[in-house]
């Protein structure tokens, strides 16, 4: 009961409500604009959160996350281009349905299933995050090391694209985290005499570079692409018939999305693809999929929004992000002096339940905004790229510079922008780089501390049951794609 | 029909060093090897201060892993060649060139000026010829962002001809 009251706290604070309203609106705009999204938007707004208290800052980031994930569906349905990668599966049926003159119905279903998926995942978050946090009390350094390895192998295995390329990208991300002074011995690594590098490479320049600047370069190659827009009269609530057809799909996809979200992978992107294919597998009319099936929209949208709450579970309980956007949220937590993990649940329940409540309210808010304002948000896509992207560049440069007032950060951002473009071009996902970068210190730190505990004996890892379990799961995660290929 | 067949044949007979797989493989291997060699110049700590492993060991392990995995994807590309990517358009290179302008101008003249020049250059090359919109992306918007960052975050931008004028007045 106390926790429920704590969850409702954002409703009784005008400041938090204002932050939530702004975050939801901003998230929707980011989600609607192809190429941007909650990850880039969260990274760009991070410097501004410094002017807020920790709870307001994280509420802002989480509301952007929830609304941004849904916002991608609006563009997916109306112009056949996913606003965010998580909405890619929504295009498959959303656009064909819109072409049949039922854009309002398609968006109505996307809005309802996103809201249900989002709320479902917050419930999962409220129940499972504290349990996971309690379990984490059993974890020592070796267990955390094995858990981080498991997370990275899962990311490689079920993430988008080739598992080997994902592993290379994750190893590269960890390698970036080793730049600077070694945190245990203060010995310089990869600094090459550049003093500014001794503090390491910041997370924000890398994220903004890999997402915003590389996308700007991608957009420069797509200037002649013409989008066929479908007119939208109004968003319609699903009919009784539609509810009957889709309620099982929505619930199933909400479960799938929450589960996938908990695993450190690409969150909503993978969740929506699995949610969509499962919806097709269980459907009585699988032949309608790809031609405007309402179940297809429900399956993809419920899953990608359910992944938001799921991805917050390991982020808050263990300090291991479940997606690229939660990696930004994790950075926000650390910048504001909040250390995620089991102690957070014991010492600051008001803070945590405030976040849970804010996520719940954000899901309701984007339902209202989406339902009444989708038509207006869809107009944002009319801003031409030749005006939009130079503006995004300006904000990216200033945002990156502002965190440590270092011009080197801006160069690093540009470098990662160019690198990110070529990585994507040759089939390397950039998400594992981000997760690797954020987990790098944890992986190396826990490995070295474990070796101190084990007196340098690597075999001692195998004497810990939890470690062995995670290693076996990691092995399975690695060979799973090979087995799938052979089938 | 004959043209298509000839083109296909031309792609197949492309020397291996022109293929994307080889280019990506070579770049990763060369960069990783250089980095790996540089790890041998890292300082070492005496055993009493050594926390488990030497500071160079972990990055060394990662670089070896990257080299092994890169070799593996190159080997696998013999069985399943990568999809051939389209040639990059002129606009991509112009945008890349604008980044170089940005670095040179911000380093020598002014940070604000560099942002303005890049914004106008990119917008113009991407097809925007209307004066008002070029003014909007090149001066009005960057100015608003500058003032916003300066007032809300109390940010001090690097010195330069325009930035100095702003701070002076």
Pick from B89, B94, B128: CB nearest A386:
B128
Q: Is residue B95 part of a domain?
A: yes
CB contacts < 8 A, A to B, total 161
Q: What is the number of domains present in chain B? A: 2
CB of A65 closer than 8 Å to CB of A329: yes
Test B141 with A448 for CB contact under 8 angstroms: no
Pick from B50, B63, B103: CB nearest A411:
B103
Q: How far is CA B95 from the centre of its chain?
A: 12
* pLDDT mean for each 10 residues of chain A (487 residues): 66 83 90 82 84 89 91 84 80 85 86 92 86 81 87 76 87 93 86 86 87 88 73 75 86 89 74 85 83 88 89 85 86 86 80 88 90 78 83 87 85 93 89 87 87 83 88 85 66
Q: Is residue B130 part of a domain?
A: yes
Lowest mean pLDDT among A217-231, A361-375, B74-88, B94-108: A217-231
Tell whether B69 and B113 lie within a shared domain. no
Test A398 with B59 for CB contact under 8 angstroms: no
| Domain that residue B112 falls in | 90-168
Domain chopping of chain A, boundaries = 2-486
pLDDT at position B37 is 94
**Best interface-test mutation with B: which of A35, A48, A390 has the largest number of B CBs within 10 A?**
A390
Q: Using CB atoms within 10 Å of the CB of residue A301, give its burial: 0 to 12 exposed, 13 to 18 middle, 19+ buried.
A: buried
Is this prediction's ipTM beyond 0.90?
Answer: no
Pick from B42, B115, B133: CB nearest A387:
B133
Test A410 with B106 for CB contact under 8 angstroms: yes
**Best interface-test mutation with A: which of B19, B60, B62 has the largest number of A CBs within 10 A?**
B62
Tell whether B6 and B75 lie within a shared domain. yes
Tell whether B56 and B96 lie within a shared domain. no
Q: Is residue B84 part of a domain?
A: no
First to last CA, chain A: 50
Distance between A449 CA and the closest CA of chain B, angstroms: 6
> Which structure tokens are listed for B27?
């770049």
pLDDT at position A33 is 81
Q: A278: closest CA among A263, A258, A298? A: A298
Test B55 with A171 for CB contact under 8 angstroms: no
What's the CA dihedral at B58, B60, B66, B72 to 10 degrees? -120
Residue B168 makes CB contacts below 8 A (sequence gap 6+) with: none
Q: Is residue B85 part of a domain?
A: no
Q: A203: closest CA among A44, A341, A328, A322? A: A328
Q: Is residue B103 part of a domain?
A: yes
CB of A73 closer than 8 Å to CB of A87: yes
Distance between B15 CA and the closest CA of chain A, angstroms: 19
Test A220 with B91 for CB contact under 8 angstroms: yes
Distance between A349 CA and the closest CA of chain B, angstroms: 30
Residue A213 makes CB contacts below 8 A (sequence gap 6+) with: A393, A396, A413, A414, A416, A417, A418, A420, A421
- For residue A119, the surrounding DSSP H or E stretch is helix A103-136
pLDDT at position B9 is 45
**pTM beyond cutoff 0.80:** yes
> What are the chain A neighbours of B85 within 8 Å (beta carbons)?
425-426
| Residue ending a domain, choose from B79, B106, B129 | B79
Residue with tokens 């929450």: A258
Question: Which SS3 state, helix, strand or coil, does residue A239 take?
Answer: coil
- What number is the average pLDDT over the span B35-41? 92
Question: Which SS3 state, helix, strand or coil, does residue A189 take?
Answer: strand
Cβ neighbours around A18 below 10 Å, total: 12
| Residue ending a domain, choose from B79, B105, B139 | B79
Q: A258: closest CA among A304, A300, A301, A307? A: A307
CA distance linking residue A477 with residue A427, whole number of Å: 20
Tell whether B102 and B138 lie within a shared domain. yes
pLDDT at position B10 is 45
pLDDT at position B66 is 95
pLDDT at B6 over 50: no
| Residue ending a domain, choose from B26, B46, B79 | B79
> b/e per residue, A209-240, with b = 16+ CB within 10 A?
bbbbbbbbbebbbeeeeeeeebebeebbebee
Pick from A394, A411, A444: CB nearest B142:
A394
Q: B103: closest CA among A410, A420, A393, A389? A: A410
- Could you tell me the pLDDT band of residue B7, with boundaries at 50, 70 and 90? very low
Q: What phi and psi, each to the nearest 5 degrees, are found at residue B106?
A: -70, -30
pLDDT at position B69 is 93
Tell whether B99 and B75 lie within a shared domain. no
């Amino acid at each position: 009961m106390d926790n429920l009251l704590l969850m409702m706290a954002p409703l009784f604070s005008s400041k938090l409500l204002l932050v939530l309203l702004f975050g939801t609106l901003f998230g929707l705009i980011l989600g609607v604009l192809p190429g941007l999204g909650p990850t880039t938007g969260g990274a760009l707004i991070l410097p501004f959160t410094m002017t807020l208290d920790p709870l307001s800052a994280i509420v802002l980031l989480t509301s952007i996350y929830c609304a941004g994930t849904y916002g991608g569906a609006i563009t997916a349905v109306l112009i056949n281009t996913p606003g965010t990668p998580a909405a890619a599966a929504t295009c498959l049926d959303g656009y064909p349905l819109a072409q049949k003159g039922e854009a309002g119905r398609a968006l109505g279903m996307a809005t309802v299933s996103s809201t249900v998926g989002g709320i479902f995942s917050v419930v999962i978050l409220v129940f499972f995050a504290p349990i996971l946090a309690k379990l984490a009390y059993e974890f020592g350094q070796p267990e955390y090391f094995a858990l981080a390895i498991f997370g990275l192998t899962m990311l490689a295995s079920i993430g988008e694209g080739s598992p080997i390329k994902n592993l290379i990208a994750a190893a590269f991300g960890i390698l970036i985290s080793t730049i600077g002074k070694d945190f245990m011995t203060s010995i310089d690594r990869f600094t090459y005499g550049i003093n500014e590098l001794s503090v390491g490479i910041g997370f924000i320049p890398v994220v903004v570079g890999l997402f915003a600047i590389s996308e700007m370069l991608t957009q420069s190659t797509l200037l002649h692409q013409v989008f066929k827009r479908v007119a939208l009269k109004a968003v319609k609530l699903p009919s009784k018939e539609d509810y009957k057809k889709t309620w099982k799909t929505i619930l199933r996809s909400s479960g799938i999305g929450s589960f996938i979200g908990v695993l450190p992978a690409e969150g909503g992107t993978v969740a929506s693809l699995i949610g969509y294919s499962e919806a097709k597998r269980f459907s009585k009319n699988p032949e309608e999929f790809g031609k405007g099936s309402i179940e297809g929209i429900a399956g993809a949208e419920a899953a990608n929004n359910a992944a938001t709450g799921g991805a917050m579970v390991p982020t808050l309980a263990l300090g291991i992000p479940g997606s690229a956007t939660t990696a930004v949220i994790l950075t926000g937590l650390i910048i504001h002096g909040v250390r995620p993990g089991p102690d957070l649940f014991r010492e600051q329940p008001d803070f945590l339940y405030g976040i849970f409540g804010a996520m719940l309210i954000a899901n309701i808010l984007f339902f209202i905004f989406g339902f009444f304002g989708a038509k207006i948000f869809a107009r944002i896509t009319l801003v031409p790229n030749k005006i939009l992207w130079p503006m995004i560049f300006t904000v990216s440069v200033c945002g990156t510079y502002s965190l440590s007032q270092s011009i080197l950060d801006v160069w690093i951002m540009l470098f990662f922008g160019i690198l990110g473009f070529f990585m994507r071009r040759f089939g390397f996902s950039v998400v594992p780089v981000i997760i690797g970068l954020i987990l790098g210190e944890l992986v190396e730190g826990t490995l070295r501390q474990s070796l101190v505990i084990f007196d340098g004996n690597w075999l001692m890892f195998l004497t810990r049951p939890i470690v062995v379990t995670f290693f076996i799961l990691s092995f399975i995660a690695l060979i799973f794609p090979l087995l799938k290929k052979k089938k | 029909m004959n043209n298509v067949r000839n083109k296909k044949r031309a792609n197949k007979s492309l020397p291996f060093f022109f293929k994307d797989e080889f280019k990506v493989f070579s770049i990763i291997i060369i960069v990783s090897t250089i980095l790996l060699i540089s790890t041998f110049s890292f300082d070492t700590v005496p055993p009493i201060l050594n926390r488990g492993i030497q500071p160079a060991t972990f990055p060394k392990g990662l670089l070896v892993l990257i080299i092994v995995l890169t070799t593996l994807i190159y080997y696998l590309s013999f069985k399943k060649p990568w999809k051939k990517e389209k040639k990059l358009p002129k606009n991509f290179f112009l945008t890349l060139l604008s980044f170089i302008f940005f670095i040179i101008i911000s380093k020598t003249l002014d940070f604000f000026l560099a942002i303005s020049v890049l914004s106008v250059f990119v917008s113009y090359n991407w097809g925007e010829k209307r004066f008002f919109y070029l003014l909007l992306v090149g001066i009005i918007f960057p100015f608003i962002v500058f003032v916003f960052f300066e007032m809300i975050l109390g940010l001090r931008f690097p010195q330069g001809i325009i930035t100095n004028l702003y701070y002076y007045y």
